[in-house]
């Protein structure tokens, strides 16, 4: 069944101001359902069924977000996706796939993909993923977080944190720098750094990203608060 070049919602919506969302996916049922969902929310949608068509659409359309299935789409390797990102660094990418493993999630993260969802996610999570990507905020859906954190480290480790350390984790999640946290809590920069080191040691993590993911899993913060 042929697809239209571009589709818009008949209902006026401020979401049109976001520009065009480009869906790069070769699965008809996925693109049809996703297009209907986005049109319902007032977005303008374009579609691409191949890598060549995707590149062409990026040249001819004012694209505000790319939604693509990295696993099943016409990519020869992760390098193809990296090239697209490098050519259009201002356009966020939301990867939407049927399934994902920890290695693939981390590979995408290293490639600069900060928004990942599964096709099995519910309506609200998919829309939240689109909204976060358009705002250029990092967001994994809960199913992706489950994959990434499953059997990695028990969330119970978070219980080892003191009240002050949990507060530091929440301030980091709000996007504050170490200097800003020190000023807010009326302590020295060195004191905040010491808290960070202790948090990393107790949780067995080596980066702020890992700390945030574990904090979400443990329920210390909400996914929507995660701005790293």
Domain boundaries 155-225, CATH class: mainly alpha
Q: Is 109 within 8 Å of 228 (Cβ atoms)?
A: no
pLDDT for the residue numbered 222 = 63
pLDDT for the residue numbered 192 = 93
CA distances for 66 relative to 39, 42, 91, 130, 136, angstroms: 15, 16, 7, 10, 12
Nearest Cα to Cα of residue 63 among 13, 116, 134: 134
Output the tens digit of pLDDT for each of the chain's 228 residues: 445 445 554 444 556 556 799 999 988 898 999 999 999 999 999 999 999 999 999 998 899 999 999 888 888 888 888 898 899 999 999 999 988 877 788 788 888 888 999 999 999 999 999 999 999 988 888 888 887 776 444 455 566 788 888 889 888 888 889 999 999 999 999 999 999 988 888 777 778 877 887 777 777 776 544 444
Note the helical H segments in 44-122.
51-60, 78-87, 102-110
For the chain, which residues make up each domain, given as ranges?
6-149, 155-225
pTM: 0.62
The arrangement of secondary structure in 6-149, i.e. its CATH architecture, is: 3-Layer(aba) Sandwich (3.40)
Distance CA 149, CA 155 (A): 9
């Amino acid at each position: 069944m042929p697809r239209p070049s571009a589709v818009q919602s008949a209902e006026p919506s401020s979401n049109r101001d976001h520009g065009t969302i480009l869906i790069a996916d070769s699965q008809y049922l996925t693109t049809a359902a996703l297009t209907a969902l986005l049109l319902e929310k007032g977005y303008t949608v374009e579609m691409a069924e191949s890598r060549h068509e995707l590149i062409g659409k990026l040249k001819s359309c004012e694209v505000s977000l790319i939604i693509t299935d990295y696993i099943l789409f016409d990519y020869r390797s992760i390098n193809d996706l990296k090239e697209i990102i490098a050519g259009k660094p201002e356009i966020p990418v939301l990867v939407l796939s049927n399934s994902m493993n920890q290695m693939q999630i981390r590979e995408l993260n290293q490639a600069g993909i900060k928004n990942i969802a599964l096709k099995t996610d519910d309506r609200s999570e998919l829309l939240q993923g689109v909204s976060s990507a358009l705002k250029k905020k990092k967001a994994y859906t809960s199913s992706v977080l489950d994959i990434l954190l499953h059997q990695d480290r028990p969330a119970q480790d978070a219980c080892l944190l003191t009240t002050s350390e949990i507060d530091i984790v929440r301030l980091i999640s709000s996007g504050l720098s170490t200097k800003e946290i020190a000023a807010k809590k009326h302590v020295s920069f060195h004191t905040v750094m010491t808290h960070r080191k202790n948090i990393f040691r107790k949780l067995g993590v080596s980066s702020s990203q890992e700390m945030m993911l574990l904090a979400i899993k443990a329920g210390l913060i909400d996914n929507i608060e995660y701005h790293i």
